[in-house]
Structure 1
Amino acid sequence: MTAETAETAETAEEERELLGRVLDTLLREDAYKLRSRARTVRRADGDWLRIALEGGESVLLPVEPEGFQCAIRARRPPRLVPAPSRDATVGGAGASGATVGGVGAGAGGAAVGCAGAGRASGAAVGGGAGDAAPSAGPGPAAGPGNRAPGGRVPRAPGAPAGLGPLGVSGESGSLGVPRVPSAPGTSGVPGVPVVPGSSGAPGAAAGPGAGGSPVDHPVRTAPLTGLDAVLGRLRAAVPVDDRALYDVFVTECHQALDAMRLHTRVRPAVVADLAARHGERWTGMSGAVAYDTLAAFRDHPVYPTSRGRAVFTEDQLRAHAPEFHPTFPLRWLVLPREAVSGDLARLPVWWPTPGELGLDLGLDLGPGKGTADGWLTFPVHPLTVGRPLETALRTAGLEGAARLADRGLLDVRPTLSMRTVAVADDPLVHLKLPLTTSTLGQRNRRSIKPGTLTDGEVAQRLVEAVIEREPRFRATVLLADETTHLHAGHELLATLVRRYPPGLENATIVPLAGLLAPAPDGTLVIDGLAERHYGGDVLALLDDYFTLLFDFHTTLFGYGIALESHQQNTSLVFEEGCAVPRLRLLIKDHDGPRVHAVRLAAVIGGGPAADLCGFDDRRILTPGDGPVADVFTTITVHLCAAALVFELARLGRAPLDTLLRRLRDRLTEAVDRLAATRPGTSAALLRARVLEAARLPVKAMVTAGTLFTKEHSGAADINKHYVTGPNYLLRGSGR
């Protein structure tokens, strides 16, 4: 294989990988009822969904069991097969309807979605001849390379046996049960299936009750593959009023694909540079930023286009994005002091003065942190300079008063969030600065509203108060300090000064998002951590992590609190020696929790609770436990625990059932501990809503973030808009 051929194959695989994740998301979130309104067609090669399009047309999507937040996903390699028209007389479909695979639902497939008696042309499978799915062809989905010994198609990792495509017990041949693909039923053309019931397909001469004449010629339908072909065809399943936002999402998909291809090209050199710079052990906060770089090459657990960043060019990304690990200087404004809210006394001692920026305001530049007789220096991300900054200053009424320094000052490196940068000469200080882009959805803008700064500070003080009352967490849970911040009246004129706890110089600090990233030596990051701290036992590391994670967050739940401490906001801190615990949690970005104030008041008293709940965003305070339990489930359980478990199982590190049993056991222990230490309803709620629930809330991030307007989706908060999915924890219960 030539280098050019290898690159072409790699590019095609990236597109298939992205398309698979996109289809999985559309099925999981069911935004346009693609899953719930589809008709399931069961064939020997697996299940297919028949998705209705406008004009009476339809397409067939092959699916397979998934188990993590949705019962099914798109079967790999992802593709659509155009279904024959409902008017077509395939397989002799007459008044009594067509069959698939011969007599009734015989060897070729199961009878699914049968029409009721009131429908004269009710079909035995899928409601009409056109509902028949293609048979297994020689393509990758059902080819020999994808079969288990004996020719059976293996059940996907994590798929509960006997579950149908919507999580309902199915009969033999339904989703989740291995089946034997039929060798017949192919068109003879590689990758092009023949519609069952046509001439040359099994059961062409229909069984009992199949009137009419068979089609004289095989019906061959070429599969649609690739982003443009598949998403372009699915557009016809989208209501006309929603298509403009669907097109925006398709653009996001292409931006993500461009980013994936760029990452593939640059990753080897970036990782080699990290290895040369940091050696074998990446310690301290500078090492943590290096792990952020590894994490930046990975995809979000549930948002399919997370790597794409709208607005910015490739050159801008190379100079400022975390996956390139660049260093760059910040730009600085000088603003009238009265235009800025914030506590100047808490700014770092190195905060520059106007004179250090080369600005002569004709004033006495006496000592002080960035001030000169009523003026304040204000950091700006270089990517905000230009029209966005000019518009922000004009909107804030500062156009004539603000001065922008010509040169940059203060070298920084981007962290995983990109808008947050680490100060090169003061690694314990990060600055969170607004950007004009959006990530994880068109409406998920990376600007900073004043209220979020207040809410982060209030949430931090609330969690600190809990830790003070629960002393076992004083040594095991670290919080970044987010009590210093500035704002100048516009979403692009803001700064959060985040300080990390001292004493981390020799610690290894890894964001959860980077735990399963490939390390420079080709192993996973978690492998090196397990080798260094757990004698090579990855499961022992996970056990310790799950124990601490669930103990802390169930304790918070007992106070009526759930944090938005997802994989980017939670890091694991490893350190050798007996002076500190071997494993600790480090949590940052405290805004966006959910707090049941009545439960909090019942635990600590009404007065203290009121003092600790001065949030700007009133959505944070909830009238009941439901929203708190939803955040606990979708963040702590799904993203911080189960996402790791399912990926490790896919990588073959351990059977999924073994990993899920550990997860459930550690969560059960934490809930039992909560029941013992804080009698009341909180433990019972977690058992009912998480451990024993038939279904769990699932974030619908694409629906709320891009596909629908807020008015259409009804999402009060686009990051807390949910559908439901199967409860994989029940698999770990032994039932």
Structure 2
Amino acid sequence: MTAPTLPADSSGPITGTGTGTGTDTGTGNDGRRHSDADGTRSELVIRVLSALLREDVVGLRSAGTLVHRPDGAWLQRGASQGRLLLLPVVEDGFQCEYAARLPLLVEESADSAPVAHETCDMILAALRVLADPADRDGFDAFAEECRQTLATMRLQASAHDEVTAHLAERHGSSPADWTGLAEGLAFDTLAAHLDHPVYPTARGRSGLDARQLRAYAPEFQPRIALRWLAVPRDAVIGSLPEHWPTPALLGLAELELTHVALPVHPLTLGAPLDGALRATGLTDRAVLADRAHLEAVPTLSMRTVALSADPSLHVKLPLATATLGLRNRRTIKPGTLVDGAAGQRLIERIILREPRFRNTILHADETVYAHAGHELLAALFRRYPVGLQDSVVVPMAALLAEAPGGRLVVDHLADRFFGGDCVALLDACLTLLLDWQTTLFGYGIALESHQQNVSLVLDLRPDGRTRLRLLLKDNDGPRINSRRLRERLGADAPGTADFDDPRTFVESDGPVVDLFTTITVHLCAGAYAFGLARHGRAPLPVLLRLVRDRLAEAIERLGTGAGEPGAVLRAQVLDAARLPVKAMVTAGTLLTKERSGASDINKHYTTGPNYLLGAGGSA
């Protein structure tokens, strides 16, 4: 069965938002001017304004004063020369007290009529004036990021119905029946149409045009033919999977004994690949095969593809693009391959010490990788566990996505596995997830295991009862309190020599708590409480009490005596007045690392309200 035919489009760079007011939103994918009749622009503007408020960009939050007008609450922030900026807000609570209520920023002054800024371009131009001159280029870059995202959102919307119909035809109408790893790739397609819980422009990918997105992005579930580079054996570090293609198979028989074949994403061909070969001195030694070989399907991360002939093998390939911020490039630094394998070995060691997780925490193998000393000349070969052919394997990122027919994925899963009770599904997930992640914290470890990196594995036992397991991947980027780890593992504890990134090991709980809170608590627990409540599946207080109860139970198992890890989590998460919150726009695009002070753009924080504080009682 072939992939769906999508609407024709130009192949120029994706741009979108104009600078006019009213309903005009600028040039869309078809080159025409669009109104905001579909609400896409408004949706994006509200998300962008809410993120800027949450991250306190140019003091929107800290220098703002709450005022009440007949239509509702507004945040008022002084600008310059008697001007005021006014942002309409509504109470929120998920990582910020308020969120944008309308897609609007109003500029007022005593001697002129109010000016309504209704597009991202206009809003960022107004805020740019308040920024330090050294930071203004970042506002321009974020404006372009917003244009790309708006156009991508419209592109996705234009193809959504056809894509979901194709998924239903290929896999069946109910996602609860999409069993096995091959069928599970459809969940990645659905998740790609959903916004990130925090980053407002996550659907944008810098520098890619509409044709490239249709051909390679997961939201369209295309089929990709991999390209291949024959690289001298002496230039490659690492190893390749068994029965891997050789130069001879790719039409380069003369290189069979001297070279190995590295897969290359088609989007990396051309200038990006040429630059990498020049940088490594391989221009005259590496040979690009003329023929493509092996069909693959993009996963949610886009740079990782699953082989059609062997969907248990995912190949992570570098891309010369960026998502979640201009500086969050989708290349693969060789050191992250080392760290991912080291992280996996550490996790496996802990599972052996914690028997209750041996049958509930599954792990993809990420110890096979190869690189030629450059972030565009690398590949990770991720092998999934065997025995999943009868299980539904769904990334957490897909739970709130719209399935074929319009219902949420979580509704279908709840129907089959939890008697139609979405809250019971969330409860089972949180019970295992928080037990696991707090156990890791007891060893001094927090993982970057966000919604994309954790999958639910669901199946029915012979007696009809549901079995739920977690499947994890991507273990680079943890934070490890070396003191706690040494206390628990002694001589078996890995050290700085085992990881490439010197930021991995810290000497206190603080950075570990920050990562645990922003990833596990916010993205993998709180986001679902607020999300399910927004969709009307249960009252928000009930869902937040559920999160707090399950987290409290997991913390109690750690011990809450003075200095014990449970006491730390209770004080700094459960009972803290404020919690760390990712400042992803600030660190990823608006400010340079020198200006933001971020040593890691994915671990740069502001603070927000603790939505668990008011969740007393029992769910």
TM-score clears 0.5: yes
Runs of 4+ with deviation above 6 angstroms = none
Residues 155-194 of structure 1: CA deviation (Å, up to 9, x unaligned)? xxxxxxxxxxxxxxxxxxxxxxxxxxxxxxxxxxxxxxxx
Which structure is higher in RCO with an 8 Å CA cutoff and minimum separation 6? 2
Q: Please give the residue correspondences for 1:477-496 in structure 2 after superposition, counting only pairs within 5 Å.
A: 477-496=361-380
Residues 276-308 of structure 1: CA deviation (Å, up to 9, x unaligned)? 111142111112211000000011100000001
Q: Please give the residue correspondences for 1:114-125 in structure 2 after superposition, counting only pairs within 5 Å.
A: none
1:66–1:723 distance in 2 versus 1, CA, 3 Å: same
- Shift, 1:489, TM fit: 1.1
Kindly indicate whether the alpha-carbon contact (under 8 Å) linking 1:333 and 1:379 is maintained by their aligned counterparts in 2. yes
- Shift, 1:578, TM fit: 4.5
1:99 is matched with none
1:133 is matched with none
1:202 is matched with none
Residue identity opposite 1:709 in structure 2 = T
1:348 maps onto 2:242 in alignment: yes
Find 2:128's aligned residue among 210, 214, 235: 235
Kindly indicate whether the alpha-carbon contact (under 8 Å) linking 2:78 and 2:85 is maintained by their aligned counterparts in 1. yes
- Shift, 1:55, TM fit: 3.7
2:585 is matched with 702
- Measured in 2, the distance between the counterparts of 1:310 and 1:45 equals 38
Q: What SS does structure 2 have at the residue aligned with 1:584? A: strand
Q: Please give the residue correspondences for 1:246-325 in structure 2 after superposition, counting only pairs within 5 Å.
A: 246-279=139-172, 280=174, 281-325=177-221
- Measured in 1, the distance between the counterparts of 2:99 and 2:508 equals 33
Instruction: Give the strand-richer structure, 1 or 2.
Output: 2
1:612–1:548 distance in 2 versus 1, CA, 3 Å: farther
2:498 is matched with 614
Kindly indicate whether the alpha-carbon contact (under 8 Å) linking 2:58 and 2:127 is maintained by their aligned counterparts in 1. no
Find 1:21's aligned residue among 47, 52, 61: 47
1:598 is matched with 483
Residues 671-726 of structure 1: CA deviation (Å, up to 9, x unaligned)? 112218x9961000000000000000000000000000101100010000000000
- Shift, 1:73, TM fit: 1.1
Kindly indicate whether the alpha-carbon contact (under 8 Å) linking 2:312 and 2:385 is maintained by their aligned counterparts in 1. yes
2:262 is matched with 378
TM-score by length of 1: 0.77
Q: Which moved more, 1:45-54 or 1:574-583?
A: 574-583
Residue identity opposite 2:357 in structure 1 = F
Q: What SS does structure 2 have at the residue aligned with 1:696? A: strand
2:89 is matched with 63
Residue identity opposite 1:592 in structure 2 = G
Q: Percent identity?
A: 56
- Measured in 2, the distance between the counterparts of 1:679 and 1:231 equals 47
- Shift, 1:611, TM fit: 6.2
Residues 558-577 of structure 1: CA deviation (Å, up to 9, x unaligned)? 00000000011111110111
Residues 127-154 of structure 1: CA deviation (Å, up to 9, x unaligned)? xxxxxxxxxxxxxxxxxxxxxxxxxxxx
1:727 maps onto 2:615 in alignment: no
1:82 maps onto 2:110 in alignment: no
Kindly indicate whether the alpha-carbon contact (under 8 Å) linking 1:458 and 1:613 is maintained by their aligned counterparts in 2. no
1:687 maps onto 2:580 in alignment: no
Residues 35-70 of structure 1: CA deviation (Å, up to 9, x unaligned)? 211233233432222223344422211111110000
- Measured in 2, the distance between the counterparts of 1:273 and 1:241 equals 48
- Measured in 2, the distance between the counterparts of 1:36 and 1:12 equals 33
Q: Which runs of 5+ in 1 are unaligned?
A: 1-6, 89-218, 364-371
1:679–1:426 distance in 2 versus 1, CA, 3 Å: farther
Kindly indicate whether the alpha-carbon contact (under 8 Å) linking 2:496 and 2:502 is maintained by their aligned counterparts in 1. no
- Measured in 1, the distance between the counterparts of 2:549 and 2:385 equals 32
Q: Please give the residue correspondences for 1:245-644 in structure 2 after superposition, counting only pairs within 5 Å.
A: 245-279=138-172, 280=174, 281-344=177-240, 347-349=241-243, 351-361=244-254, 372-578=256-462, 582-605=467-490, 607-610=491-494, 614-644=498-528
Residue identity opposite 1:582 in structure 2 = R
1:369 is matched with none
1:131 is matched with none
The total of aligned residue pairs comes to 583
Residues 531-583 of structure 1: CA deviation (Å, up to 9, x unaligned)? 00111111111111110010000000000000000011111110111599611
Q: Please give the residue correspondences for 1:28-67 in structure 2 after superposition, counting only pairs within 5 Å.
A: 28-67=54-93
Q: Which runs of 5+ in 2 are unaligned?
A: 1-32
- Measured in 1, the distance between the counterparts of 2:580 and 2:324 equals 18
Q: What SS does structure 1 have at the residue aligned with 2:253? A: coil
Q: RMSD of the TM alignment (CA)?
A: 1.9
Residue identity opposite 1:348 in structure 2 = E
Q: What SS does structure 2 have at the residue aligned with 1:418? A: coil
Q: What SS does structure 1 have at the residue aligned with 2:294? A: strand
- Measured in 2, the distance between the counterparts of 1:326 and 1:28 equals 36
Kindly indicate whether the alpha-carbon contact (under 8 Å) linking 2:482 and 2:495 is maintained by their aligned counterparts in 1. no
Q: What SS does structure 2 have at the residue aligned with 1:421? A: strand
Q: What SS does structure 2 have at the residue aligned with 1:486? A: strand
- Measured in 2, the distance between the counterparts of 1:240 and 1:34 equals 17
- Measured in 2, the distance between the counterparts of 1:303 and 1:563 equals 19
- Measured in 2, the distance between the counterparts of 1:250 and 1:614 equals 40
Q: What SS does structure 2 have at the residue aligned with 1:702? A: helix
Q: What SS does structure 1 have at the residue aligned with 2:74? A: strand
- Measured in 1, the distance between the counterparts of 2:470 and 2:188 equals 16
- Shift, 1:220, TM fit: 5.4
- Measured in 1, the distance between the counterparts of 2:443 and 2:404 equals 42
Residues 478-509 of structure 1: CA deviation (Å, up to 9, x unaligned)? 01100000010111000000000000011101
Q: What SS does structure 2 have at the residue aligned with 1:518? A: coil
Q: What SS does structure 2 have at the residue aligned with 1:509? A: strand
Kindly indicate whether the alpha-carbon contact (under 8 Å) linking 2:108 and 2:115 is maintained by their aligned counterparts in 1. no
1:581–1:559 distance in 2 versus 1, CA, 3 Å: farther
- Measured in 1, the distance between the counterparts of 2:129 and 2:545 equals 42
- Measured in 1, the distance between the counterparts of 2:161 and 2:242 equals 36
Residue identity opposite 1:313 in structure 2 = D
Higher radius of gyration, 1 or 2:
1
Kindly indicate whether the alpha-carbon contact (under 8 Å) linking 2:36 and 2:42 is maintained by their aligned counterparts in 1. no
Residue identity opposite 1:660 in structure 2 = L
Kindly indicate whether the alpha-carbon contact (under 8 Å) linking 2:46 and 2:103 is maintained by their aligned counterparts in 1. yes
